[in-house]
Structure 1
Amino acid sequence: MTAPLLALSGLASAYGQSQVLWDVDLMLAPGTATALIGRNGVGKSTLLGTIMGTRTVTAGRVAFDGADITGLTPHRRARAGIGYVPQGRHIFPHLTVMENLETGLAARGGRGSGGGGVPDHIFELFPKLRDIRDRKGGFLSGGEQQQLAIGRALAGEPRLLLLDEPTEGIQPNVVQQIEAALRTVRDRLGVTILVVEQYLDFVWRFADGYCAMDGGRIIRQGSTATESAADVAHLVQI
């Protein structure tokens, strides 16, 4: 059996005195895509932040590629190979598209292709970014900003990509482009993907499996090949 790339064991996290995650166990195999689903406010974004290190672990363990990274800062986790696209994109509005992409290069550390520049495959995944590479981030549409945010994360050549609501507020044609890009990122680049998403039909088209959360816990896991999005949505009351 292939060793997991990411393994969470008894993970808990809190905001001050308010606990948000409870005893989360999760394993992600290399080169797979997993949908993290559930109603608003059940802890999905907090779980991504805890994996990335932007939220404090109060109990449990985060292991990445067999190494315990529970105590690592976010930038050290990024250098270890974890990319993160937060909800709301958070691109730099006063930097150009190319400058935004170049900020992602720092995450490589000593890893990656060693070429030094933005990888060509980012422009193959999102051709529009090449066309608007000199435009300031603040003048982009929502769909362009989302493509830029994903491209910036991929510039660090991660082995694990965390995405929080990538289709939120995005026009349908760009959703299709993002779906195709994520499929390529998994299949051709071998990147493992964990994506928080409310639009279940979108993730069911490319994800291998799903994890459903409620009340800060994972309450159900399964395969997208054997369970339909509609049935799962009904069972977990999304």
Structure 2
Amino acid sequence: MTDALLEIAGLSAGYGGSRVLWDVDLNLMRGRATALIGRNGVGKTTLLHAIMGTRLASAGSLRFDGTDLSPLPPERRARAGIGFVPQGRHIFPQLTVMENLETGLSARGGRGTGGVPAHIFDLFPKLYDIRGRAGGFLSGGEQQQLAIGRALAGEPSLLLLDEPTEGIQPNVVQQIEAALAHVRDTLGMTILVVEQYLDFVWRFADDYVAMQGGRIVRAGKVAEDPAAEVAKLVQI
């Protein structure tokens, strides 16, 4: 078994006739958190969607835990163990918090049993307090906690997050940071997070990957490369 949970080689993708990703190579190591950074419009979100299958690749390969993802639709990728928290959260406003969390259970694909894992409420206690409230009445921070909790309910081995701190108050950012560090350290979850707030990801991530113009231009360990130096490189 390789140490890489996700192996991406020569990946290209885009929208219509416009290519956004160019020959991306990336390996995500098991049980490590990786920050995917770069300016807006360089292809970070497209890469997450290509992994999830909501944006089809035009070239290259993706292997997840040894399985070729290319022919699999998004729901099959979710059941294989990939959780996704998209930018904008996309919770169900008419459903209660608990019902939203329960929608995440379908992603288990036979990998887990029972209801919503109790540790989600340990990570985000506010969700338990408001479990009967409709999603549409939640604050932005509460919705972000709910979106992460829903992804975690599927018990993924790989968690993808797109700008999880965007528009979120500092105390919730701290909770999200603690939650991501916890699921990596105690559950061995692999994490790929797109983030502009480098101070946030540099506190808990193990590795980083920097993108420019749809290509990966630098990769390394956060402990070895200061955030300010990397930010200057990618102009964020």
- Which interval holds the TM-score relative to the shorter structure? over 0.9
Partner of 1:8: 8
Alpha-carbon distance between aligned partners in 2 of 1:2 and 1:75, rounded to the nearest angstrom: 25
Alpha-carbon distance between aligned partners in 1 of 2:149 and 2:52, rounded to the nearest angstrom: 18
- One-letter code aligned to 1:71: P
Instruction: Give CA deviations for 1:179-211 in whole Å, capped at 9, x if unaligned.
Output: 000000100111100000000000000000100
1:235 is displaced (CA, Å) by: 1.7
Partner of 1:87: 87
**2:175 is aligned with 1:177:** yes
Runs of 4+ more than 4 Å apart: none
Partner of 2:44: 44
1:52-71 mapped onto 2 (5 Å cutoff): 52-71=52-71
1:215 is displaced (CA, Å) by: 0.6
Structure 2 length as normaliser, TM-score? 0.99
**2:226 is aligned with 1:228:** yes
Alpha-carbon distance between aligned partners in 2 of 1:85 and 1:70, rounded to the nearest angstrom: 21
**2:159 is aligned with 1:164:** no
Instruction: Give CA deviations for 1:203-231 in whole Å, capped at 9, x if unaligned.
Output: 00000010000111111001100111111
Partner of 1:124: 122
1:71 is displaced (CA, Å) by: 1.5
Q: Which runs of 5+ in 2 are unaligned?
A: none
1:203 to 201, 204, 208: 201
- One-letter code aligned to 1:223: K
Secondary structure of residue in 2 paired with 1:34: strand
- One-letter code aligned to 2:134: K
1:3 is displaced (CA, Å) by: 2.4
- Report the count of equivalent residues: 236
Identity %: 77
**2:145 is aligned with 1:147:** yes
Partner of 2:184: 186
Alpha-carbon distance between aligned partners in 1 of 2:81 and 2:187, rounded to the nearest angstrom: 13
